A and B are shown apart, each in its own frame.
Chain A
Amino acid sequence: MTQSNDPEKKERRYGRIAVAGLLTTSVGLLAAAGVYAGLSATATGSEAVSSGTLNLTLSPDVGVGFSNFAAKMAPGDTDNVYVNLNNTGSLASAAGMTLSVTGAPSNALTNGSVAGEGLTVTATQCSVAWTLATGVCSGTTTPILATTQVSALNVGAALSNVPALVAATGQLAHVQVSLGLVGTETSVNGVAPASTIQGLSTTLTYTFTEQQRTGVATNQ
């Protein structure tokens, strides 16, 4: 085989070599690109989460709990009922439980239309179950609502000492709810005053409301 020394031929050969090199390089790059497009990497992590519950239950402590007062209530009378407030959810409650009391129908017993008269509510917590026969707490009592006119309880009133009242999960509060009647009016020859609390009926609805504890930010 003889090698040509013709410069023109040399240039053509070098050109073919360059073209071949370019083609080879292109194919290589394409192949590499194809391999890159076919691969992927995935990192996974798992985190289980369950939402909590906030359940407040109301049940009789001793006696029948909230019920009707059969007799006709006179000024100074009190009707004590004993209920348990129980946080049965999985979340603790926040401070600030409220109690609202509304009457249906609304009348002078509940709406404050006769100044200084009407129904009142007092709430007291006992560290143990109340004694029904005597209405006595054999443990420690904690006042959670001072005597308050029902007319002032139409919107929720904050119960004091609430952190100790069903604040934690599963905690039980033994509460005496005492309904009273304040009456200072005088009847004349069998006739009550024009604005009176006498001879009225109403059904009271007691509503205890709690809120969940504040949200917790966890870093782990």
Chain B
Amino acid sequence: MKCLTHSSACRTAATAAVLLLGVALLPPNAGASGLGGRVQGTEAVTSANWGATASVTSMTFTTNTFQTSNVTNTGTVALVAESFVVTISKPVFGAPTFKVFRCAVPWVATKCSGGAGTQIGGTLAANSTTTVTSVLALAVGAVEYLQVEPATVFTSTTVMLSPRIAAPSQVRAAIHTNQ
């Protein structure tokens, strides 16, 4: 197509072409001042879970018979200690007391490997809430065996066991990796 230089359309087209060429020749970062350098690195990471789960969390005592609960490390990181919030109801009659013992193996006929096990905390009174802590290393999936031993129970009394795992104090020692 022949472009007549005196025509308005031709001048418009020529102007547009010049502008487009100018834009095309501009550097990509024409608005930025100077040069910039940038480097990147990536690192994938996954956080652990920490927690312990009790097989029995509520025990009702009407006699002085011992009861047990198995506490499993259901997290993905080893534990160095486990806490339990022990809540004891107020019986209608009497003032029972309770003790909590732990064992590394299942209780057999109220005995821990033939012994009494290790007491966690002191003697707990009725109508109280107490946190007791078991300083026992517990690998992932490992089980800690608890036994609650009542005394002077005459009427129904409920003991609630609630495992609590707090980080970082009850999680294994920190690991420092150099890679």
Residue of A nearest to B46 (CB): A201
Taking A72-B48, A184-B168, A211-B35 as contacts, is the C-beta distance between A58 and B54 under 8 angstroms? no
> Which of the four size classes fits the interface of chain B?
35 or more
Q: Which residues of B contact A192 (CB under 8 A)?
A: 49, 51
Cα–Cα, bound, A77→B167 (Å):
12
Cα–Cα, bound, A209→B50 (Å):
37
Cα–Cα, bound, A198→B175 (Å):
17
Taking A54-B37, A80-B176 as contacts, is the C-beta distance between A75 and B171 under 8 angstroms? yes
Report if B163 contacts A (CB, 8 A): yes
| Chain B facing A: main interface SS | strand
Chain A 52-81, CB-CB to B under 8 Å as 1, else 0, gives 111111100001111111011111111111
B142-179 contacts to A, CB under 8 A, are 162-168, 171-179
Taking A74-B171, A79-B179 as contacts, is the C-beta distance between A189 and B47 under 8 angstroms? no
Partner of A134, one of B42, B53, B178, B179: B178
B130 to chain A: closest CB distance in Å? Answer: 16
Residue of A nearest to B177 (CB): A79
The answer on a CB contact under 8 Å between B47 and A199 is yes
Taking A66-B43, A187-B50, A205-B40 as contacts, is the C-beta distance between A75 and B168 under 8 angstroms? yes
B82 to chain A: closest CB distance in Å? Answer: 11
Taking A74-B168, A76-B171 as contacts, is the C-beta distance between A208 and B179 under 8 angstroms? no
A81 to chain B: closest CB distance in Å? Answer: 6
The answer on a CB contact under 8 Å between B178 and A212 is no
B50 to chain A: closest CB distance in Å? Answer: 6
Report if A129 contacts B (CB, 8 A): no
The answer on a CB contact under 8 Å between B178 and A179 is no
The answer on a CB contact under 8 Å between B42 and A204 is yes
Partner of B39, one of A73, A78, A85: A85
Residue of B nearest to A117 (CB): B167
Which of B47, B54, B177 gathers most chain A CB within 10 Å?
B47
Which of B38, B45, B173, B175 gathers most chain A CB within 10 Å?
B45
Residue of B nearest to A204 (CB): B43
The answer on a CB contact under 8 Å between A81 and B43 is yes
Q: Which residues of B contact A179 (CB under 8 A)?
A: 43, 45
Report if B74 contacts A (CB, 8 A): yes
Q: Which residues of B contact A78 (CB under 8 A)?
A: 174-177
Partner of A73, one of B45, B53, B162, B179: B45
Which of A55, A74, A133, A202 gathers most chain B CB within 10 Å?
A74
Report if A28 contacts B (CB, 8 A): no
Q: Which residues of B contact A55 (CB under 8 A)?
A: 37
The answer on a CB contact under 8 Å between B43 and A188 is no
The answer on a CB contact under 8 Å between A208 and B39 is yes
Cα–Cα, bound, A212→B54 (Å):
61
A172 to chain B: closest CB distance in Å? Answer: 13
Report if B65 contacts A (CB, 8 A): no
Could you pull out 7 A-B pairs where Cβ atoms are within 8 angstroms?
Answer: A56-B38, A82-B178, A186-B165, A199-B47, A200-B46, A208-B39, A210-B37
Shortest 6 CB-CB contacts between residues of A and residues of B: A66-B41, A76-B174, A56-B37, A190-B53, A187-B51, A58-B39
The chain B residues found within 8 Å of chain A, CB to CB, are 34-54, 57, 72, 74-77, 162-168, 171-179
| Given A74-B172, A74-B175, 9 new contacts (CB under 8 A) | A57-B39, A58-B40, A66-B41, A79-B45, A187-B49, A187-B165, A192-B51, A201-B46, A202-B44
